[in-house]
Structure 1
Amino acid sequence: MDFVLGIDGGGTSCRAALATPDGRILARAKSGAANIRTDLTGARDNIVEAARQAFLAAGHTPELIEATPAVLGLAGANVGTYRQQLETILPFSKSRVETDAEIALEGAVGGGDGAMAILGTGTAYMARKNGSSRAIGGWGFQVGDQGSGARIGRDLLEQTLLAHDGIRAASPLTDEMLAVFRGNPEDLVEFTTNAKPGDFGGFAPKVFERAAAGDAVANWIVGKAVDDVEAALGVLDLRDGDPLCLLGGLAPLYALRLSPRYQALLKPPLDDALGGAVRMAVRLFTDAAEVAP
């Protein structure tokens, strides 16, 4: 075996890292969304495409995919039989599908105790104490993923319609959002018919930006999201001194808004989720004693 693959797939994008058996990453690549619960076939295609691009970026033929084992941490792998279905249609020599939280924790704190929160298109939390892990959330934005980019975007569209109907006061942000849909609330509703989590999540950075500028609706949405994140962190029962790592595209925005209790626990992650997938692949598929830095 010449290589291992680490894959990190979520509602917005899929990343792949090609590494040597000792964990030295040779190349990274990125493709489209890979939430296996919302689009199993599309996720499979994007996973393979990210792997193919990683081989090309490293100067190797993608034909080696079939001889390469992979660890995949994917949104949607925590429910149903999606992970088993995916494993049967992947082209890798061996496939180990884990949740995105598992590889994120591995990357953030290595093999020790600590906790991490994924704050991106979706949200998920995991803590490890004395070698035992506990996961929170990750149920998808229709019934979970509170504080996620997808939920923030959905809340923004909801508040925009409420403002249009005069149920709540409008703000510059709701006016701007309605203008995106040509001032037609029906177009906004039609957008939601086929929108995926990443489509909703695309509005989240604007909400944080407008909140920082004092927009009332944006501050209401962000305040609710921060409360949701802290409620989930509270369930993890973190002790003073436990490292807490925030991961995902919204992590820097949340880090500034958490209460002092959680800000005191924040530590930079040892690696990102993609690095965690590579580390796990090395541990599972090779005899390497150490992962390369």
Structure 2
Amino acid sequence: MTYYLGIDAGGTHTRARISDSEGRTLGAGEGGPANSRIGLALAIEAIEDASSAAVLSAGLGRGDVGRIRAGIGISGLNRKGVLKGLREHPFPYDSLAIASDAAIACLGAHLGQDGGIVIVGTGSVGFARVGDETVVVGGYGFPISDEGSGADLGLRAIRRSLWARDGRIAHTPMTQEIIDGFSGLAGEIVAWMDKANATDYAKFAPLVMDHANRGDPVAEPIVQEAALRIDRLIRVLLDRGAPTCCLMGGLAPRLHDWLAAGVRERLRAPMGDALQGAIQLAQLRGLPPGRAE
């Protein structure tokens, strides 16, 4: 029997799902963040952790692993050396197909048909399939891109909290909570910044959203600006011919109501998730691990 393993390697966590040839889900697993910016070795470790947990959950034995066709979607695939490194890694599967996290999300959301998606989670990106054309908007990586994302919210909130600490703007409940989290010390924030990555910044996004929903005068415009940036991603995909668009990612449910009414009217619920898209990818194509595409 052939098994299909879908892996969604994202900036916050990695998820894996195994199904059989009839499309029945057999098992699932999770791992840590796998954004390529944290390093290929750590990303592969998270992928293997999630995959191993899914195999265990499915009750598959060592001999079954060689009959698995895997599809991986990973954020940051456009970084130099990432695709080559993944292809060369000796994953134990019969075949391996690799695409961006946006590509598998779009496959799942529209079940392989034309359409667009905007992912808003740790990062942000717009992606659409329109006939033979692939449209990609943004997604170049934090901090130069990923506008409206969780990492972007966190960065803007921390910056304004430092402004408030300096007296450049008035403190609000959000800025005070952030400063208090660093014991009120700017040096603590700077030391944290020296080691922080996009995932670390994105951890502040729920706090920002909570305060914005309560009308915090600093948090609210940060979220309004994020919504404008996501609005624009959606509008570009629609203008490029996407017949419809889905809003996906961990921050999507909370940001949805902040979008312009005209944009919300043109969104639709995804028909499937990114893991379903990764499984479709595994079914469509793949090469034995260790070989170049």
TM-score by length of 1: 0.92
8 Å Cα contact 1:26-1:58 kept in structure 2? yes
* Partner Cα separation in structure 1 for residue 138 and residue 62 of structure 2: 35
1:218-229 to structure 2, matched below 5 A, reads 218-229=219-230
Rate the CA distance shift 1:241–1:190 in 2: closer, same or farther, 3 A.
closer
* Partner Cα separation in structure 2 for residue 42 and residue 279 of structure 1: 25
Rate the CA distance shift 1:46–1:241 in 2: closer, same or farther, 3 A.
closer
1:38 Cα deviation from its structure 2 partner: 2.7
* Partner Cα separation in structure 2 for residue 69 and residue 150 of structure 1: 33
Moved more, 25-34 or 63-72: 63-72
Q: Which amino acid aligns with 1:44?
A: I
1:18 maps to which residue?
Answer: 18
1:239 Cα deviation from its structure 2 partner: 8.2
* Partner Cα separation in structure 2 for residue 11 and residue 240 of structure 1: 29
Q: Helix, strand or coil for the counterpart of 1:54?
A: helix
1:79 Cα deviation from its structure 2 partner: 3.0
Structural RMSD (CA): 1.9
Rate the CA distance shift 1:132–1:239 in 2: closer, same or farther, 3 A.
closer
Q: Which amino acid aligns with 1:262?
A: V
1:2 Cα deviation from its structure 2 partner: 2.5
Q: Helix, strand or coil for the counterpart of 2:235?
A: helix
Moved more, 46-55 or 242-251: 242-251
Moved more, 19-28 or 202-211: 19-28
Q: Which amino acid aligns with 1:34?
A: A
1:7 maps to which residue?
Answer: 7
Q: Which amino acid aligns with 2:259?
A: L
8 Å Cα contact 1:127-1:236 kept in structure 2? yes
1:138 maps to which residue?
Answer: 139
1:1-293 to structure 2, matched below 5 A, reads 2-61=2-61, 64-91=64-91, 92-238=93-239, 242-284=243-285
Q: Could you give the per-residue CA deviations for residues 156-208 of structure 1, whole angstroms, max 9, x where no partner exists?
A: 11111111111222211000101111111111111111112111111101111
Q: Which amino acid aligns with 1:112?
A: Q
1:13 Cα deviation from its structure 2 partner: 0.4
1:114 Cα deviation from its structure 2 partner: 1.5
Give the ranges of 4+ consecutive aligned residues of structure 1 lying more than 4 Å apart after TM superposition.
none
8 Å Cα contact 2:32-2:46 kept in structure 1? yes
1:242 Cα deviation from its structure 2 partner: 2.8
Q: Helix, strand or coil for the counterpart of 1:237?
A: helix
TM-score by length of 2: 0.92
1:131 Cα deviation from its structure 2 partner: 3.8
* Partner Cα separation in structure 2 for residue 96 and residue 281 of structure 1: 6
Moved more, 145-154 or 75-84: 75-84
8 Å Cα contact 2:102-2:127 kept in structure 1? yes
* Partner Cα separation in structure 1 for residue 74 and residue 276 of structure 2: 14
* Partner Cα separation in structure 1 for residue 72 and residue 241 of structure 2: 32
* Partner Cα separation in structure 2 for residue 68 and residue 251 of structure 1: 32
Q: Helix, strand or coil for the counterpart of 2:233?
A: helix
Q: Which blocks of at least 5 consecutive residues in structure 1 are unaligned?
A: 287-293
* Partner Cα separation in structure 1 for residue 40 and residue 242 of structure 2: 40
Moved more, 65-74 or 221-230: 65-74
1:113 Cα deviation from its structure 2 partner: 1.9
Moved more, 59-68 or 146-155: 59-68
Q: Helix, strand or coil for the counterpart of 1:60?
A: coil
8 Å Cα contact 1:51-1:65 kept in structure 2? no
Corresponding residue pairs, total: 286
Rate the CA distance shift 1:263–1:240 in 2: closer, same or farther, 3 A.
farther
8 Å Cα contact 1:113-1:242 kept in structure 2? yes
Q: Could you give the per-residue CA deviations for residues 74-95 of structure 1, whole angstroms, max 9, x where no partner exists?
A: 0110232211112211413322
Rate the CA distance shift 1:62–1:261 in 2: closer, same or farther, 3 A.
farther
* Partner Cα separation in structure 2 for residue 253 and residue 227 of structure 1: 14
8 Å Cα contact 1:17-1:25 kept in structure 2? yes
